[in-house]
Each structure stands twice: as C-alpha cells, then as structure tokens.
Amino acid sequence: MSAPTTEFGPSWLASLPPGARVLSRTTVEHTVATVGDGGLTARPVGRRRARYIPLALVPTADRDLVAPGARFWLVSERVALGHGDVDGSSAIRFRRSRTETAEAAFARDTKAGAR
C-alpha cells in the first residue's frame, strides 16, 4: 500500500523549473514582540518563546509594517528539483489586513524574501 500524496500546488516562494514539485510547506504565523536596529523578535502565535529575525530577511515592501504587535507569516518549502536534488527555502510576508491569507500575501510578490 502506498502513502497518500499531498499536492501543494505551485511554490509560493519561487518559480520552479519544469518537473520540479513542492514536497512540503510549513506556514507559521508570528507576532512581532520588539524591534531593534538590526532586527526584530517575534513569537509564533500561541507560543511564549520569541526568536530573533534579522531585518534583512524582511522584504523591502514590508519594512514599513515592522512594529510591535504586527503579524507576519514565515513559510518554508522543500522542493524536489529533479535528479534527486531537494532544495529548501523560506520567506516572510507581513499581514496587510485582518482578512488576508498567507497564500494571498505570498502571491503579492513571489520574488521577495529570504532564500
């Protein structure tokens, strides 16, 4: 018996070469706790422990949204590129409205973000 296959659709983070496919996607919403000169601390929603995130990882278009209490998504993907090669990438997008979804936020600009 084979394991069920999950279809993740196209990558949220980059355009993929023909034949490549997304193997996994993790989306974690965070809340900004503090902002400093070189970065910010944020905690995943529902968790107590904060993590440091360098400001360089925040897309330029989202930097005006960086403030205590702001929410963003950190998305990580694993992608099969072919010939057995697997690559991982991640990116951050700040929430621009209460009703915006993570998928919509990443659709705004698929080229920005961390690699």
Report residue 4's pLDDT band, with 50, 70 and 90 as the boundaries: low
**Domain at 21-107: CATH code:** 2.40.50
3-state secondary structure of 18: coil
Asked whether 62 and 84 are in contact (CB, 8 A), the reply is no
Instruction: Specify the pLDDT at position 19.
Output: 80
62-113 confidence digits (pLDDT tens): 999 999 999 999 999 999 887 788 989 889 999 988 888 888 888 876 444 4
